[in-house]
Structure formats: C-alpha cells, structure tokens
Copies of this chain bind each other. A is one copy, B any other.
C-alpha cells in the first residue's frame, strides 16, 4: 500500500470526465475493474446471495467507497447488469452484422453464448438476463424494464437474421421470421438455464445443433 499506482498522472482510462487532474485524494481503484468484479459476483450468487462484504472484498473497495462510487447495492446491481449487456452486445454485434450464411451465423452466435454462459471459475454462470428475470425483475419495475429490453434485443436481432436469410433465398418464407426468432431466443434461454444447472457442454451443443437444423429447415440429419 506504499508504492501504489500513484493516483493517475495520465491513467489509461477512457473516462470521459476528468481527463485532467482531479482535486482531492486519488482513487485507489479503477471503476471499470471494480464493476467487472462486482458483475462476476452477482452473476455467481445473485443479488440476494451477494453481500456488501463480498463485494467489498472482491473489488478491494471498502463499503463506503463502494457507496460513493456506485450508490447502494441495488444501483450497483443495475450498473453491473448494464455492463453485462454492454459486453455481450459488443461481442455479438459483429456476428449479427456479418453477411454469413444463416446457419453459420447461428452457429457463431450460439457458440459465443455458450462461452458466456459456461464461463466462471466456480461453475457455469448462465445468462445474467435470465437470472435477473427470475429474481429481481419480479418486484423491481426498473430492472424488469431492462430485462425486457434484453429479451427484445435478442428477438429483434434474430428476426433480422432470418429476414435477411429469406431475402437472400436461403430460407423458405413460409414461416414467419418472428416465429423463428422466438425459437432462436427460446434456444438461448434453454441453454442458459441448463448451463446454470451444469448440463455438460456436449449436451448443450447437441441441443443447439438440433434447433439450428429445424430453424434453417434442414430435413435430414
């Protein structure tokens, strides 16, 4: 605690504010990093299962600092969730935009999703949106709004994929793109839940493969 980072005489943060020297005692933490740690904890144990002490230990910030930086526990949870969504979106956006054949697009999306859901040192962590939907979203309208936004974001992205595939003649137009999109989201949800219950990756991949086969209209194994 003696030769610390020496505050930040040009710290590599993309923090919009305060590119110049701040006035008082310098922060001993990096907000981004701390938020990432908080997210990890929340994903592992959920809102109720994560105490401020846990968060304090994981971030290295003591409780009053946590408070000052992120607000109370609920606010920290919300910020963590937004961070999660931002990360996921950043990872997905390229794939959703790339002009790959529909099957490959879906394969890449699910591959990425599995990576996210199965990660975690203390066992797979599933999808934070799904976990939040099952818990906090019930009583907290603001959180619920975010979750619904998350669902709809996926639904729309999938629908766009299918619509594009239909335009390109890859897919029959006899099934509505929205219907396929909901099936695609359902597949996301089922693997998220099953991952959380430690269903092995192989099985999840098999589920994904089968779902893709049906969605792209494959009629043979």
Residues of A within 8 A of B (CB): 44, 46, 48-49, 123, 126, 130-131, 133-135, 137-139, 144, 147-148, 151, 172, 174-176, 178-180, 182-183, 185-187, 189-190, 193-194, 196-199, 207, 210-211, 213-215, 219-221
Q: Complex formed: what's the CA distance from A175 to B178 in Å?
A: 22
A24–B150 alpha-carbon span in the complex (Å): 57
The complex places the Cα of A53 from the Cα of B172 at a distance, in Å, of 57
Given A135-B134, A196-B137, check contact A213 B175 (CB 8 Å): yes
The reply to whether A197 and B135 contact each other, CB–CB distance below 8 Å, is no
B residues less than 8 Å from A144 (CB atoms): 197-198
**What is the CB-to-nearest-CB distance from A182 to chain B, in angstroms, rounded to a whole number?**
5
A150 to B3 CA separation, bound complex (whole angstroms)? 55
Contact at B174–A186, with CB atoms within 8 Å? no
In the assembly, what is the distance between CA of A176 and CA of B214, in Å? 10
Per the bound structure, the CA–CA distance linking A138 and B43 in Å amounts to 11
